[in-house]
Amino acid sequence: MPVFADYRGLPESAQGASIALGNFDGLHIGHKAVMDAARLAGHGKFSVATFEPPPRAYFRPGDPPFRILRPERRNAAILAAGAAAVFELPFNGEMAAMTDEGFVRAVLVEGLKARHVCVGSDFRFGRGRMGHAQRLSSLGRALGFGVTIVEEVEDHGAKASSTAIRQALMAGEPELAAEMLGGPWIADGIVESGEQNGRKLGFPTANILLGELIHPKHGVYAVRARIEGEKAWRDGVANFGRTPTTGLRDPLLESHIFDFAGDIYGRRLEVQLVAYLRPEHKFPSLDAMVEQMHRDAAQARAILARGA
């Protein structure tokens, strides 16, 4: 996979590209507009430069999980969109201390040898976020590369942004997040063995920890899941939370895949959140919980059958 973990020491074949530059967390429709601009400027060829870790993770390491995509999924999606390469610019103390001009000279000119750079209108860079899109355009003219500033993209009158997507997921509005992303938000992870309470209750689940991925609103969702090695998405119902009825524990995404009984421990599972059904809450008994689980499953089947 043509992913480079630095801007220094690049092969000549990777340099001299039209570059889409930004955080690219989530690859929402605004990010895709920036990539489209880079594709146009590069006459069909472009690369993407992003930051790893994201600046927010560097400056605020104690924040709750906030990534919309894991880096591997982000990079694969960027390449699938036609990018020739992905540059993961290492965001560390050295980069955080660069002035805006220092960043442009060291990273874009000397490192990437960019011919053209495309950014969103809200792009900020350099020490203390001193640089902005217009400053980048001015530096580009002085240092010999073109700059395209892409205006923000709106969906149903609201700005498409990673912040808005996070807010939608945390509010239990996966449909709104999907509109901005251009498709359902997907959580992924390795299926882990759990307490097997679901199996005992007639609802076996495939459990994954979200880790650094943003934690959506706790509760029950209609979902589609894809098992590693398969192409088809399977319908299901999932709970994300701490299961207060059977004992509190760290938040876990537990997916019950309809009409499936295979052993998938240790395999990667992708889960699309399609619709939020209800909040998580504590039931007075296991029987009451199972009755609600049947209702949740029926509701999820109905929603998914409508192609929601």
Instruction: Out of 136, 152, 168, pick the residue that ends a domain.
Output: 152
Confidence of residue 193 (pLDDT cuts 50, 70, 90): confident
Does residue 174 sit in helix, strand or coil? helix
The structure's pTM equals 0.89
Instruction: Out of 134, 152, 170, pick the residue that ends a domain.
Output: 152
Beta strands in 43-174 (DSSP E): 47-52, 86-90, 116-120, 124-125, 131-132, 146-150, 154-155, 158-159
User: What digits encode the pLDDT tens for the residues 52-90?
Assistant: 999 999 999 999 999 999 999 999 999 999 999 999 999
Q: What is the CATH number of the domain that holds 301?
A: 2.40.30.30
Give the bridge partners for 51, in sequence order.
89
Q: Cα–Cα distance between 83 and 79 in angstroms, integer?
A: 5
Q: Is the bond preceding residue 53 a cis peptide, omega within 30 degrees?
A: yes
Q: Which domain holds residue 251?
A: 184-305
Residue 91 domain-assigned (yes or no):
yes
Closest CA to 217 of 177, 179, 268: 177
In this structure, the answer to whether residues 145 and 44 fall within a common structural domain is yes
Residue 168 domain-assigned (yes or no):
no
Q: Can you say how many angstroms the Cα of residue 38 is from the centroid of all Cα atoms in its chain?
A: 21
Residue 14 has pLDDT above 90, yes or no: yes
Residue 300 domain-assigned (yes or no):
yes
Q: What is the mean pLDDT of residues 180-200?
A: 83
Q: What is the mean pLDDT of residues 173-191?
A: 94
Residue 166 domain-assigned (yes or no):
no
In this structure, the answer to whether residues 124 and 188 fall within a common structural domain is no
Report the chain's mean pLDDT, rounded to a whole number. Answer: 92
In this structure, the answer to whether residues 9 and 137 fall within a common structural domain is yes
In this structure, the answer to whether residues 242 and 120 fall within a common structural domain is no
Choose the weakest-confidence range: 136-150, 238-252, 287-301: 238-252
User: What digits encode the pLDDT tens for the residues 279-292?
Assistant: 998 888 888 988 99
Q: What is the CATH number of the domain that holds 22?
A: 3.40.50.620
Residue 175 domain-assigned (yes or no):
no
Residue 118 domain-assigned (yes or no):
yes
**Total structural domains within the chain:** 2
Give Cβ neighbours of residue 172 (< 8 Å, ≥ 6 apart). 216, 217, 219, 276, 279
